[in-house]
């Protein structure tokens, strides 16, 4: 199983410089305090107006546009290398570039880059490139499962299952064949219905675009680049039931990853391997995803009853974006900076053939590159900041729609969920 | 039309890359096997060096990804004449042991690189304290560089493709315990832990062993099933023979929590928490 091989290299108890319950308690208090401060001071919506930002000078835009074009080509080459390695390279997980590329560089690196730099995946994604190439003149109306956005849930769900439940998810062959199938599927959809529609099935792009809304950089439809405060852009994300499901699925997956690192889980999995392990993990993964979704929906039902708003859950779905980023950082930051180093050596020998293309094949992972204390602080900080931004975003959404008094009242159930998620997340990450 | 052709070309390229890949890689995986088996001439090794570590990992993952039969023994039960092995081990007084190995009913064939399995042919695997030290086609061998004290030497018959020969439910092997003198002084571990496997089940569940950075940690694994133990990140891999404890000796210098896994069985064995 991939997590056993790569993801669980470093981390766990003892990383935090303070006891876990103290961290969780502190985070919960910080949340309640910021909620109270918002109720007192934040009476009208501000994020939407802030999210437009200031336009960058044309020279900068040109330079970044050129860089994006170069990176798009590089990304396509790397993508083909990873696909070729997956299908035909060495079968060993650590000898082949595809597992570390997919599970670390792509799945952790791209979200981090999106949050910091904006819609990078949209700019360089090989699926974007290939999808556009394949896109012909659309013949016929795209079906509802595509236009509604629900198709995005498919790749995200399969990916989580591979990463977290399937015992052989790190196998280069599995990655290679599924990657190829996904690529061909997207190209076929693009050919039939045009890339603008087919893109809605590219779940990773949908997810990463949502995460990129937190970035201080924004790109408009005509290629103009804007700078703004970090986090505010999330107010502009178009909420939909499909996007909400994608976010909840991703959140549930990360929560399950946390659970799978606990000693309780270890004991449950003791002696289990192969399909038996897969079966147990699959059931648990589904349970956790359903539970995370259920908690959110229950809080939203309560909020909906207070406000009489039937779209409550979808309206506040965007507040899950900063939480998801916080969890991703908390769980995978050390994976990115430690296990991610394997990419440096593997890029010289992607297929495991004894090549040394760039002279980096002997690079040995520096496991003490960051201290466990630093990892602990990043974990605590990202979970707290993620939830505080979430509280801010939902509050801003609420005052957009209702009077400050109703808005505050509508957010009590959400605050409860946030506190529960935070405590749960912190106890998991330290246990 | 033009962009579409580009896409087709790109995919064709990917397919070609793939096609030329698959058959060569099979060969290479096999060639990596002896690297693993030959790991380290020193017995109480602390860390496998980088290149060998790579071999280890490759081997380790290949078993996971299915289809690779490295650990599956060849069962000879029922043959009219079974091969046999005996061992006489004498310490040489300078930190080494002279081995005299008696092999019957098996033609000894050098197996580097590995050959196809042929009935009636094979070679001898030599292990000290659970770690493989040599694969030989001779009947004498000189083990050197041991520490003072008691060591367990084991010889086992193996096929040309390095799979163990088995009969009646156990490896065809011989064992000797020797008291070595004149070798390197023993460095006393700062922490000692033990794990025991009974019928493939971890006695007492999965434990988390704690140690501090800089400690010399010794973890002894006993098992009634043959397998091998792999400690991740530290990339330590020690074969586990039935009835013969495997000892992982490592100076822990990377903080964090690390998992050790049973290679063949594919499940977690213990955790090592270094702070």
Would you call B57 an interface residue with chain A, using a CB distance cutoff of 8 Å? Answer: yes
d(CA A235, CA A51): 7
For B193, other C-beta atoms within 10 Å of its C-beta total: 17
Q: What is the pLDDT of residue B22?
A: 41
Sign of the C-alpha dihedral computed for residues A120, A126, A129 and A135 taken in this order: negative
d(CA B37, CA B54): 13
Q: What is the pLDDT of residue A396?
A: 92
Pairing of strands B165-167, B170-171: antiparallel
User: How confident is the model over A187-222, as pLDDT tens digits?
Assistant: 999 999 999 999 999 999 999 999 999 999 998 878
- For Cα atoms A64, A68, A69, give the angle at the middle one, nearest 5 degrees: 120
In this complex, do A133 and B25 lie within 8 Å of one another by their Cβ atoms?
Answer: no
CB A413 within 8 A of CB A391: no
Could you tell me which residue, B166 or A70, shows the higher pLDDT?
A70
DSSP B102: E
Domain residue limits at A66: 2-136+143-430
Total tally of structural domains belonging to chain A: 1
- Which contacts qualify for A229-234: CB closer than 8 Å, 24 or more apart? A229/A50, A231/A322, A231/A389, A231/A392, A231/A393, A232/A47, A232/A50, A232/A51, A233/A51, A233/A53, A234/A47, A234/A51, A234/A318, A234/A319, A234/A321, A234/A322, A234/A389, A234/A393
Q: Count Cβ atoms within 10 A of the Cβ of residue B69 and give its class: 0-12 exposed, 13-18 middle, 19 or more buried.
A: exposed
**Nearest Cβ partner for B267 among A80, A176, A273:** A273
CA distance to partner chain A, nearest, from residue B14 (Å)? 6
What's the pTM? 0.74
- What does CATH list as the number for B191-274? 2.60.40.420
**Nearest Cβ partner for B10 among A85, A130, A273:** A130
d(CA B77, CA B72): 15
In this complex, do B18 and A88 lie within 8 Å of one another by their Cβ atoms?
Answer: yes
Nearest chain B alpha carbon to A76: B10
User: Structure tokens of B134?
Assistant: 């040599």
CA distance to partner chain A, nearest, from residue B12 (Å)? 11
Tell me where in chain B the CATH 2.60.40.10 domain(s) lie: 74-180
Nearest chain A alpha carbon to B29: A90
Nearest chain B alpha carbon to A1: B64
User: Structure tokens of A229?
Assistant: 């405060």
**Residue reference for tokens 């994604």:** A125
The predicted model gives A368-377 an average pLDDT of: 81
**Residue A333 pLDDT level (bands cut at 50, 70, 90):** confident
Tell me what percent of the residues of chain A surpass a pLDDT of 90: 45
In this complex, do A12 and B273 lie within 8 Å of one another by their Cβ atoms?
Answer: yes
- Considering the segment(s) B74-180 as one domain, its CATH architecture is Sandwich (2.60)
In chain A, the largest separation of any two C-alpha atoms, in whole Å, equals 67
Q: What is the pLDDT of residue A136?
A: 74
In this complex, do A367 and B7 lie within 8 Å of one another by their Cβ atoms?
Answer: no
Could you tell me which residue, A182 or A4, shows the higher pLDDT?
A182
Nearest chain B alpha carbon to A375: B256
Q: Facing residues of B152 across strands?
A: B177
User: How confident is the model over A69-92, as pLDDT tens digits?
Assistant: 999 999 999 999 999 999 998 887
The answer on pLDDT for B42 being more than 50 is no
Q: How many CB pairs under 8 A join A and B?
A: 166
Lowest mean pLDDT among B98-107, B186-195, B237-246: B237-246
CA distance to partner chain A, nearest, from residue B62 (Å)? 5
Q: What is the ipTM of this complex?
A: 0.73
In this complex, do B266 and A273 lie within 8 Å of one another by their Cβ atoms?
Answer: yes
In this complex, do B256 and A9 lie within 8 Å of one another by their Cβ atoms?
Answer: yes
Could you tell me which residue, B8 or A94, shows the higher pLDDT?
A94
Which 3-state string (H, E, C) describes B66-91?
CCCCCCCCEECCCCCCCCEEEEEEEE
The answer on pLDDT for B43 being more than 60 is no
Would you call B35 an interface residue with chain A, using a CB distance cutoff of 8 Å? Answer: no
User: Structure tokens of A65?
Assistant: 């546009």
User: How confident is the model over A125-167, as pLDDT tens digits?
Assistant: 999 999 999 987 777 788 999 989 999 999 999 999 998 888 8
Query: pLDDT averaged over chain A?
Result: 87
Residues of A in contact with B197 (CB under 8 A): none
The answer on pLDDT for A18 being more than 70 is no
**Residue A431 pLDDT level (bands cut at 50, 70, 90):** low
CA distance to partner chain A, nearest, from residue B21 (Å)? 4
Tell me where in chain B the CATH 2.60.40.420 domain(s) lie: 191-274
Q: Which of B1, B214, B268, B274 has the most A C-beta neighbours within 10 Å, making it the best mutation to test the interface with A?
A: B268
């Amino acid at each position: 199983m991939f997590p056993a091989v790569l993801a669980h290299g470093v981390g766990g108890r003892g990383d935090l410089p303070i006891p876990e319950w103290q961290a969780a308690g502190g985070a919960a208090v910080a949340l309640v305090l910021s909620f109270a401060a918002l109720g007192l001071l934040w009476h009208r919506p501000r994020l939407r107006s802030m999210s437009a930002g200031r336009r960058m000078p044309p020279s900068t835009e040109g330079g970044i546009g050129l860089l994006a074009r170069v990176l798009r080509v590089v990304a396509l080459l790397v993508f083909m290398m990873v696909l070729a390695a997956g299908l035909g390279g060495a079968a060993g997980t650590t000898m082949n570039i595809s597992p570390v590329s997919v599970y670390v560089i792509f799945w952790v690196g791209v979200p981090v880059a999106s949050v910091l730099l904006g819609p990078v995946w949209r700019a360089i994604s090989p699926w974007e490139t290939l999808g556009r190439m394949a896109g012909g003149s659309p013949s016929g109306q795209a079906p509802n499962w595509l236009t509604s956005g629900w198709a995005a849930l498919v790749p995200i769900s399969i990916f989580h299952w591979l990463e977290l439940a399937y015992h052989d998810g790190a196998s280069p062959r599995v990655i290679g064949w599924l990657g190829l199938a996904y690529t061909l599927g997207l190209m076929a959809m693009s050919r039939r219905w045009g890339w603008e529609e087919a893109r809605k099935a590219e779940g990773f792009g949908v997810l990463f675009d949502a995460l990129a809304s937190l970035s201080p950089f924004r790109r408009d439809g005509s290629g103009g680049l804007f700078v703004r405060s970090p986090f505010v852009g999330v107010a502009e994300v178009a909420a939909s039931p499909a996007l909400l499901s994608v976010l909840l699925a991703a959140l549930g997956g990360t929560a399950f990853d946390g659970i799978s690192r606990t000693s309780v889980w270890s004991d449950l999995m003791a002696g289990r391997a192969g399909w038996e392990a897969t079966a147990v993990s699959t059931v648990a993964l589904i349970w956790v995803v359903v539970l995370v979704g259920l908690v959110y929906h229950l809080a939203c039902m309560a909020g909906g009853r207070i406000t009489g708003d039937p779209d409550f859950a979808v309206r506040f779905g965007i507040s899950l974006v900063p939480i998801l980023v916080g969890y991703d950082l908390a769980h995978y930051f050390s994976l990115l900076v430690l296990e991610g180093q394997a990419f440096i050596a593997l890029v010289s020998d992607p297929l495991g053939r004894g090549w040394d293309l760039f002279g980096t094949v002997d690079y040995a992972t520096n496991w003490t590159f960051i201290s466990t204390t630093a990892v602990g602080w990043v974990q605590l900080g990202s979970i707290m900041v993620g939830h505080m931004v979430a509280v801010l975003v939902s509050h801003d959404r609420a005052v957009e729609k209702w009077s400050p008094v109703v808005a505050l009242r509508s957010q009590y159930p959400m605050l409860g969920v946030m506190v529960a998620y935070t405590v749960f997340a912190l106890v998991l990450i330290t246990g | 039309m033009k962009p579409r052709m580009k896409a087709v070309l790109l995919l064709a390229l990917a397919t070609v890359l793939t096609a030329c890949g698959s058959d060569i890689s099979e060969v290479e995986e096999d060639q990596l096997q002896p690297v693993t088996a030959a790991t380290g001439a020193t017995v109480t090794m602390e860390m496998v060096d980088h290149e060998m570590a790579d071999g280890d990992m490759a081997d380790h993952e290949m078993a996971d990804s299915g289809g690779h039969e490295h650990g599956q023994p060849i069962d000879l039960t029922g043959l009219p004449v079974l091969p046999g092995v005996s061992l006489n081990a004498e310490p040489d007084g300078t930190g080494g042991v002279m081995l005299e190995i008696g092999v019957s009913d098996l033609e000894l064939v050098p197996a580097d690189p590995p050959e196809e399995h042929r009935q009636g042919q094979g070679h001898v695997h030599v292990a000290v304290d659970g770690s493989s030290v040599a694969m030989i086609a001779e009947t004498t061998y000189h083990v050197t560089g041991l520490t003072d004290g008691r060591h367990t030497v084991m010889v086992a018959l193996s096929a040309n493709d390095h799979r163990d020969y088995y009969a009646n439910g156990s490896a065809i092997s011989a064992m000797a315990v020797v008291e070595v003198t004149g070798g390197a002084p023993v460095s006393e571990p700062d922490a000692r832990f033990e794990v025991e496997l009974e019928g493939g089940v971890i006695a007492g569940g999965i434990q988390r062993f704690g140690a501090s950075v800089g400690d010399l940690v010794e973890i002894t694994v006993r098992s009634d099933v043959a397998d091998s133990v792999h400690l991740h990140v530290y990339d330590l891999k020690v074969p586990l023979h039935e009835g013969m404890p495997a000892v992982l000796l490592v100076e822990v210098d990377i903080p964090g929590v690390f998992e050790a896994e049973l290679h063949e069985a594919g499940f977690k064995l213990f955790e090592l928490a270094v702070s």
